[in-house]
Structure 1
């Protein structure tokens, strides 16, 4: 993507959720197409600090935002286990950790504060745009649910998050499905790092700017692991893809989207640097204020699955640096599944139970582009321990299906084994994962 300007008039694209009638839910292409990540054209004039106004003399009132996201459907309409839970089987990892002691930041459109599957663990919300902190779009709430939704199966809710004991902080950088100010995403990333978030999920695709590089470098100096969506490419832009950021920066865990068959989704951006793949097609998650959305597609949804695994690893092995956590996730992935897949599908159980030794070979890479270095990244101090951003979930046509179709397995499926405890990983050197 081209470099963006402070007010380029181009959008940061969050995926706007829309209701899909039941008759359309079974159509071959219903809900499978992601929204394109927009681009912008000018170079920013300066790098802004968090909460620093562009014009200190500008004291105009903040715009009033109407917050009316799609309501979603009730939990009672989810009658079977969503396919990502069957494929990843992250419940097996819960015998070792559920993410306790880890804080995950959702840098997105905000997070609905009252959803019963995570409300008691949303500890702080912030906005860089001077308006409501709540989610007026739905995208950030969907991301948060995949990461952290609690196990409510006793209440007949089949949907689960990957790390149900993590704490959440919300860093909102846009009110709707887009923003034309390229300083907001960097500000939100910086704020998240300042709150001590050990994992920062960025389900957005942006141009490479100085402000964004500086924010990523700042977060890495705090030993925060940034997990980013590789970005979506609509059919009309096939063949003209460009790398998405921050996913293509070195030291960021970049995530592609995969479908239920284990193949890379056709919309997943293969020009971005990719480390691993995760479920990102026809998924289900939480929706403001207390409901659910289905038929979600985009790398925006693959990223939080990987962020949840990163939180499990950081909880299980708290002494690992962010680079070592990246290596742990990559080394335990399932292996190349094609162009744009990186090291393959994430494996939650292996990531928290297997020992990754120094110098151990990683699984074969699936078409990964050359990483973009961020010059001058300082070492972690262990003594103290306009953008046109495309919300890479590209919301993806995020369909709120009134009836949840999809290929799933019965809720009552039983697991046949449980892992024993494995020895703690030694101190691998990721070498710029």
Structure 2
């Protein structure tokens, strides 16, 4: 039973001196396959669109961009060649002697399908950015193991079979050197906070990919499982809501916790609620649907929505499958806005996500991604009006109006009015005198003489 207690941790600072060397991919140690390859349940094409694609609505972005010109590296269990995938560029194999196009675990092909599966008639499923190119690098497999593995090797592992932080670091360097513009890592290595992760080379690799090669690194937050447990706090301390979330960590996850260099993705369910299996942490940036997943079957050439488990079919779910949906979103943004560098693209995806009420939380980060908003939202230069002082010429003086005609007219009108008033006043005594004389007697006649 794990009894780790929360402890303070600090965001890791990469050391560029630990960057792994460039070179062709090859297993660092001799390996062998010890289990049968993982099988999935093939299904026929169905017209219904799976929930993740329906909720993110990638099709609404396709009239603007389908990701052409972008190269997405899938660092995983390999990507099998599939009729609905672009022919992948073999990036190499750190598990066996292949070229990266072998997938004994199905996991890498499922991830690649969520990014780049081509739409076809009769199927509601397609990848989010079907016009991207793919680079495939096999970095791990639960069905292979190190023939010389020592029991005292404490290197953090991202697979119960073969794969650890050293092979992951080599794969990230390899992907960046091959020209990937987006790097998807749907794998996580974990350690209790009290132990040493030993992931210095991986930190240097993601810093190199982001700052030197201008690639956006998208990583799964991790599932609470045998490799990543116990869970970190899923929310703020109600007694200390403003406390630094890095103060209470139980489990470290890499490369997810390299927050300044990685876009870390948590998972949500169909109703938008954070998935119970999604490992929280102060490094979580955004979220996407990670359950009820449909993708490509590496063996049948068709689709699948379940693993063939020992106890029956098991649904495909996990932060592993939320991450490629975000990687597809990043590819769409980079195709539409090729002038944006890696950090600007990461900021854009975060700022256009559907934020939780508190603005950020350790389960979904800045919220569920919105591909259409990430591609079409106005860029900062378009949102901000810049006001600058512009010198203007002095106005031409306007001559004062000639008021003389108006003055003459007013004076004349005043004189006339004054004369009229004077005439009226002078006539009033005469009229009174005339009213004071008696009327003349009637004229006499001599008619009676």
TM-score range, shorter chain: 0.5 to 0.7
Match of 2:327 among 302, 307, 311: 307
- Residue 221 of structure 2 is matched in structure 1 by 230
Which whole-Å deviations, capped at 9, do the CAs of 1:19-78 have from their partners, x for residues lacking one? xxxxxxxxxxxxxxxxxxxxxxxxxxx76435589999x8x7x646777331431333x3
Candidates 189, 195, 207, aligned match of 1:217: 207
Residues 1:212 and 1:72: Cα distance change in structure 2 (over 3 Å): same
State the distance in 2 between where 1:138 and 1:200 align: 19
Q: Is the 8 A contact 1:63 1:131 kept in 2?
A: no
In the other structure, the counterpart of 1:104 is 72
The 1:79–1:97 alpha-carbon spacing in structure 2 relative to 1, beyond 3 Å, is closer
Of 95, 104, 107 in structure 2, the residue corresponding to residue 139 of structure 1 is: 107
The verdict on how the C-alpha distance between 1:96 and 1:65 changes in structure 2, with shifts beyond 3 A counting, is: farther
- SS at 2:218's partner residue? strand
Task: Give the deviation of 1:80 after TM superposition.
Answer: 1.9
Q: Distance in 1 between matches of 2:69 and 2:115?
A: 14
Task: For 1:206 and 1:252, locate their aligned partners in 2 and report how far apart those are by CA, in whole Å.
Answer: 14
Match of 2:252 among 226, 239, 243: 243
Cα 1:339–1:195 shift into 2, 3 Å: closer
Match runs of 1:11-410 below 5 Å: 48-51=20-23, 63=32, 68-76=37-45, 78-113=46-81, 115-118=82-85, 120-132=86-98, 133=100, 134-152=102-120, 154=121, 156-176=122-142, 178=159, 179=162, 181-207=164-190, 208=197, 209-220=199-210, 221-234=212-225, 237-238=230-231, 241-249=250-258, 250-289=260-299, 290-294=301-305, 295-336=315-356, 339-357=362-380
Shifted more, 224-233 versus 176-185: the winner is 176-185
For residues 103-152 of structure 1, the C-alpha deviation after alignment (integer angstroms, 9 at most, x for no partner) is: 00000000011x1111x341334112342331110110010000111111
How far off its partner does 1:424 sit? 10
Equivalenced residues, count: 310
Change (3 A) 1:348 1:47: closer
Distance in 2 between residues matched to 1:124 and 1:425, nearest whole Å? 44
Cα contact 1:171–1:189 (8 A) shared by 2:
no
Q: Deviation string for 1:401-420 (max 9, x for gaps)?
A: xxxxxxxxxxxxxxxxxxxx
Give 1:411's aligned residue. Answer: none
Gap change, CA 1:353 and 1:195, over 3 Å in 2: same
Contact kept? 1:242, 1:272, Cα under 8 Å:
no
Structure with the higher fraction of residues in helix conformation? 2
Secondary structure of 1:281 counterpart: coil
| Contact 1:146–1:304 (Cα < 8 Å) also in 2 | yes
Instruction: Please report the RMSD computed on the Cα atoms of aligned residues, expressed in angstroms.
Output: 2.9
Q: CA 1:349/1:126 → structure 2, altered by over 3 Å: closer, same or farther?
A: same
C-alpha displacement at 1:181, in angstroms?
Answer: 4.3
Contact 1:88 1:347 in 2 (8 A): yes
- Give SS of 1:283's match: coil
**CA–CA distance in 2 between the matches of 1:93 and 1:275?**
22
Q: Which moved more, 1:175-184 or 1:204-213?
A: 175-184
Mapped to 2, the partners of 1:252 and 1:291 lie a distance apart of: 32
More contact order relative to length (CA 8 Å, sep ≥ 6): 1
Q: In the aligned structure 1, how far is the partner of 2:76 from the partner of 2:384?
A: 32
- For 2:185 and 2:384, how far apart are their aligned partners in 1? 27
SS at match of 1:201: strand
Q: Which runs of 5+ in 1 are unaligned?
A: 3-45, 359-422, 427-433
Question: Structure 1 stretch 64-73 or stretch 251-260: which is displaced more?
Answer: 64-73
| Compared CA separation, residues 82 and 147, structure 1 to 2 (3 A) | same
Provide the C-alpha distance between the structure 1 equivalents of 2:134 and 2:256, rounded to a whole number of angstroms: 21
Q: Deviations over 1:77-122 (max 9, x none)?
A: x352101121111100111100000000000000011x1111x341
Question: What TM-score results when the alignment is normalised by the length of structure 2?
Answer: 0.64
Q: List runs of 5+ in structure 2 lacking aligned partners.
A: 3-17, 144-158, 191-196, 233-248, 306-314, 386-449
- Aligned equivalents of 2:278, 2:38: Cα separation in 1: 26
Decide which structure has the larger Cα Rg and report it: 2
CA distance in 2, matches of 1:130, 1:301: 24
